[in-house]
Amino acid sequence: QLVETGGGLIQPGGSLRLSCTTSAFLIGSNHMSWVRQAPGKGLEWVSVIYTGGNTYYTDSVKGRFTISRDRSKNTLYLQMNTLSAEDTAVYYCAQSRLGNRKSFDIWGQGTLVTVS
């Protein structure tokens, strides 16, 4: 129900913008996060945008990544700047809808970002 696009091969120091869209619900009606997974590694939470618009980031991407949404396009974004090899991962967007919205209940299929 969530579809991510925008991944690809990018040189170190470069920028990339990921998008996440859905036709199943309104992006702005739930908390939305980005979670990444480096090749062969575990999951790492990256960023969240709350329904009210507040945004938060994991320390390693603060100042480099920006999460945002466009309600008119029903799309979530992740602008990634100053990329390094450590950012190489599959990036998933995920919705938090259940309960107090502290879990990730719907995930996209992921988009691969390779920094090399």
Partner 1 sequence: QSALTQPPAASGSPGQSVTISCTGTSSDVGGYDYVSWYQQHPGKAPKLLIYEVFKRPSEVPARFSGSKSGNTASLTVSGLQAEDEADYYCSSFGGNNNWVFGRGTKLTVL
- Cβ atoms of 28 and 69 within 8 Å: the answer is yes
Using the rule CB under 8 A, which residue among 29, 56, 82, 85 binds partner 1? 56
Site for partner 1 in 61-90 (CB under 8 A): none
51 residue type, one letter:
T
Asked if residue 60 binds partner 1 (CB under 8 A), the reply is no
**Sequence-ordered strand ranges (E) for 3-54:** 3-5, 8-10, 16-21, 31-37, 43-49
Using the rule CB under 8 A, which residue among 42, 52, 53, 63 binds partner 1? 42
Q: What is the contact surface with partner 1 in residues (CB under 8 A)?
A: 33, 35, 42-45, 48, 54, 56, 58-59, 92, 98-100, 102-110
